[in-house]
Amino acid sequence: MKNARINLRISSEDLEKIRDKAKQSNKTLTDYVTTVCLGKEIIVIPNLYEVLKQQKALGRNLNQLVTLANMGRVTVVYLDETIGELTAINQSLQGILQRKRW
Together in a domain, 57 and 94 = yes
> Domain span at residue 73?
48-99
User: 2 lies in a domain?
Assistant: no
How would residue 99 be classed by pLDDT, with cut points 50, 70 and 90? low
Together in a domain, 95 and 64 = yes
Q: How many domains does the chain have?
A: 2
Span 84-95, pLDDT tens digits = 888 888 888 787
Together in a domain, 53 and 35 = no
Together in a domain, 19 and 55 = no
Span 18-33, pLDDT tens digits = 999 999 998 999 999 9
The structure's pTM equals 0.53
Together in a domain, 53 and 83 = yes
User: 81 lies in a domain?
Assistant: yes
Span 1-17, pLDDT tens digits = 889 999 999 999 999 99
User: 1 lies in a domain?
Assistant: no
Q: Are 32 and 77 in contact (CB under 8 A)?
A: no
